[in-house]
A and B are shown apart, each in its own frame.
Chain A
Amino acid sequence: MAERHIFRLMLLILGVVFAFLYIPISVLVGLSFNEGGLPTAWTGFSTRWYGALLANDDILKAAGNTLVVALFSTALSTVLGTLLAIGVEIRRRNGKWLETVIFAPMIIPDIVLAIALLSFFSLLGVKMGLHTIIVSHVVFNLAFVCAVVRARLKNFDWSIVEASGDLGASTFTTLRRVVVPVLMPAIIAGALLAFTLSVDEFIIAFFTAGAGRSSITLPMQIFAMIRFGVTPEINALATLVMAVSVVALALSQRLNKGELPGQ
């Protein structure tokens, strides 16, 4: 039974892969509850580093900034992305260039988009800050919201739109009372995805935040903390950040029954 051998070998590798994926994260989460001041030696259970986080003004400020960026960019990209998705699906015949423009932000490497936006804002003389991070985040969030909503629109029953029109509803009314309610689970799923991506995004924020510490976001704060010395507070912060993304993603998955872009 050589098939069994192949399967067993692959199964063994799957086990190794799962260990590889989860050991680093688990160690981090475990150490975030470590009493001691050393980030790596276990001395006892404690939640003191979570307390330290709440007392750290830099981190609170960064968390506040992150929330502002994520909320605004999510709101904007959800509206724009949903309209884009509906427009694209009604139009049906889409040129290659249109697909390219819509999908490009998912493919363009962060660093390229980040420096492109940095040069653009600088040359225009735009003063950079939270607002430039927000409008930049919308660029890639838009693509993800659009992808999620379009996936839902693939099995959309367009006859209800016609019915709505026949019953005398205007295009706007049809959109508001028929199309958007049907799409709501996908729109919320897309919004949650955009929120997660925006909370986690580092490179573009790093380049479009401008000088100074006033518009630092949580990932920027984490990057600085990692570079300038490891304190146990990072373990706690990392655990919290991870928990937020995992919960938001699980919710998004649930709402959209596993229709992730790329799948």
Chain B
Amino acid sequence: MSADRRPLLLMTPAMIWLFGLMVVPCALILVLAFFRRGLYGGIEYTWTLENLALVFDPLYFRIFLKSAGIAGLSAAIACVLGYAAAYAIAAMPRRHQPMLLFFAVLPFWSNYLVRTYAWIVLLNREGLIVNLARWVGYEGELPQMLYSEQAVVIGLVYNYLPFVILSCYAPLSRLNPEVTEASRDLGASAWTTFRRVTLPMTVPGIATGFVFVFVLSIGNFVTPALLGGGQFQMIGNLVYAQFLTANDWPFGAALSMVLIAVMLGLLMGQAVIADRASGGKGARDG
């Protein structure tokens, strides 16, 4: 195609859509964060840094730290389980790998709410786990499993684990077996080879998995709302409350802004790791 205008013409409708309904609304959030909240809710158009300062007020910052803690724990557990699962799949005969991978990812494509609800069924006071404990003869009082931090972590790990399996499988399946063989020939034990050769070479996959689970978890509001049962708040719930209950949009916007900044920082860090691993050739296919 010689004329350079034709591709632009094809792209225009979609770009207008993305600009009008993504770029502009997101920019609006950034602007809102610097306005003052009106006396009766709504927005008063005076510039202020109060909202951003309030985000770092210990009262709210604690929720930030708590969300980061829960997201970090979930991401770490998902990475350990996901890496091991991906390792086992990559070590299987080639012809079985696509099917195993498909079944590992399949739950990821069912409805998020349904997957979360499944854990309510299991962790319920009348749920399967309690019934199972009764059935094997456990008489005592069982701890409340649902509506706790642990339940939220389980829910997050459950929902995002397939993602980690995918991101770890990619580098593991591409690992050249000659490299690990060389390590063995040079006298390294299997564990040393794993720890000093396999693991470091597959770090980008782990980093991708960790960052994505962390990013998806820290802003999550559905899982804490359903499995946390309102026992504690995460950033996502706080943002939700500011917009839909407290009617304090500027503060909600400021919270979102900090949240986006944290996420962008992490995603950029992950891109740097991926870029380094691919020898700076550009991270997009790494």
Total contacts A-B at CB 8 Å: 248
Tell me the complex Cα distance, A27–B250, Å. 43
Q: Is the CB of B18 within 8 A of A83?
A: no
Q: Is the CB of A120 within 8 A of B24?
A: yes
| B1-44 near A? 1/0 per residue, CB < 8 Å | 10010111111011101110111111011001000000000000
Cβ of B244: which chain A residues have Cβ within 8 Å of it? 207
Q: Is the CB of B118 within 8 A of A27?
A: yes
Q: Does B48 contact A (CB under 8 A)?
A: no
10 tightest A-B CB contacts, nearest first: A2-B190, A87-B10, A24-B118, A87-B11, A13-B84, A84-B14, A116-B25, A120-B25, A14-B88, A90-B7
Q: Does B126 contact A (CB under 8 A)?
A: yes
Q: Does B221 contact A (CB under 8 A)?
A: yes
Q: Closest residue to B16 on the A side, CB-wise?
A: A80
Cβ of A203: which chain B residues have Cβ within 8 Å of it? 221-222
| Other 14 A-B pairs with CB < 8 A, given A28-B117, A41-B126, A104-B18 | A10-B87, A17-B81, A17-B82, A21-B161, A83-B10, A86-B10, A101-B15, A101-B22, A104-B22, A109-B260, A123-B28, A136-B21, A223-B222, A226-B226
Tell me the complex Cα distance, A185–B17, Å. 25
Chain B interface bracket (under 10, 10 to 19, 20 to 34, 35 or more)? 35 or more
Interface stretch of the complex, out of B52-60, B102-110, B137-145, B272-280: B102-110
Tell me the minimal C-beta distance from B238 to chain A in angstroms: 11
- Tell me the B247-286 residues at the A interface (CB within 8 Å): 249, 252-253, 256, 259-260, 263, 267
Cβ of B89: which chain A residues have Cβ within 8 Å of it? 14
Q: Does A163 contact B (CB under 8 A)?
A: no
Q: Is the CB of B84 within 8 A of A9?
A: yes
Choice from B10, B13, B91, B104 contacting A10 with Cβ under 8 Å: B91
Cβ of B256: which chain A residues have Cβ within 8 Å of it? 111-112, 115-116
Q: Does A105 contact B (CB under 8 A)?
A: yes
Tell me the minimal C-beta distance from A192 to chain B in angstroms: 11
Tell me the complex Cα distance, A199–B169, Å. 28
Q: Closest residue to B108 on the A side, CB-wise?
A: A21
Q: Is the CB of A246 within 8 A of B263?
A: no
Cβ of A6: which chain B residues have Cβ within 8 Å of it? 87, 190-191, 194
Cβ of A136: which chain B residues have Cβ within 8 Å of it? 21
Q: Does A88 contact B (CB under 8 A)?
A: yes
Residue of A14, A88, A241 ringed by the most chain B CB atoms within 10 A: A14
Cβ of B249: which chain A residues have Cβ within 8 Å of it? 119
Q: Does A186 contact B (CB under 8 A)?
A: no
Residue of B85, B166, B189, B240 ringed by the most chain A CB atoms within 10 A: B85
Choice from A5, A17, A39, A84 contacting B84 with Cβ under 8 Å: A17
Q: Does A62 contact B (CB under 8 A)?
A: no
Cβ of B104: which chain A residues have Cβ within 8 Å of it? 17-18, 21
Cβ of B15: which chain A residues have Cβ within 8 Å of it? 84, 101
Choice from A9, A13, A107 contacting B267 with Cβ under 8 Å: A107
Cβ of B32: which chain A residues have Cβ within 8 Å of it? 119
Q: Does B216 contact A (CB under 8 A)?
A: yes
Tell me the complex Cα distance, A139–B26, Å. 12
Tell me the complex Cα distance, A88–B6, Å. 11
Q: Is the CB of B216 within 8 A of A80?
A: no
Show 29 A/B contacts (Cβ-Cβ < 8 Å), sorted by A.
A11-B91, A13-B81, A14-B88, A21-B161, A22-B107, A28-B114, A28-B117, A39-B124, A40-B121, A40-B131, A41-B131, A79-B13, A83-B10, A87-B7, A87-B9, A91-B8, A101-B22, A109-B216, A109-B263, A111-B220, A111-B236, A111-B256, A112-B259, A113-B25, A119-B253, A200-B112, A230-B121, A230-B124, A238-B111
